[in-house]
Amino acid sequence: MPESVWVAQSDPRVRPLLADLAREYSARYQRVLNDVHFELREYPADRFSPPEGGLLLLVAGAHAVAGGAFQRYDEETAELKRIWTDRAHRGHGLGRRVVAELEAEAAHRGYTRIHLTTGPKQPEARGLYLAAGYTPHFDVDAVPATRLRFSKALPAAVSAR
């Protein structure tokens, strides 16, 4: 089972996550790869650092196999970003595990809600968030044309660390 590791965005193990997300987004949305790389770096790295954010990797051996991050959206809300699972490790619940661990850490940090968006050409992400109890802010029966917004209330953190 992969180990959970909280890291800085500068950690070299984050590079495969960002590179694979860039390739995936470029292919799905027919966009120039360099533009997607730029978008993935549009937020300063400290947005995904404590105390307001965090970046989680699931690591097997020396390699990241899944990961994700959160940043402050507003005083009570964290925003999930960069949810990713390596293609060779998909279908084993790692994405759900990443989301659950990000939610738990956000709750521990005092957030009471999660906000996130995903693209209309990412049905796997849409399914993940619906299965994880997120409220869709779009017509789930319509063919999506724009970013899909979701939210979820977080339970209060059960214990301090």
* Rounded Cα–Cα distance for residues 33 and 30 (Å): 9
Report pTM: 0.91
Q: What tens-digit pLDDT sequence spans the chain (161 residues)? A: 999 999 999 899 998 888 888 888 888 887 765 554 555 567 788 899 999 999 999 999 989 999 999 999 999 999 999 999 999 999 999 999 999 999 999 999 999 999 999 999 999 999 999 999 999 999 999 988 899 999 999 987 654 44
DSSP codes, 88-101: GGTTSSHHHHHHHH
pLDDT reported for residue 161: 44
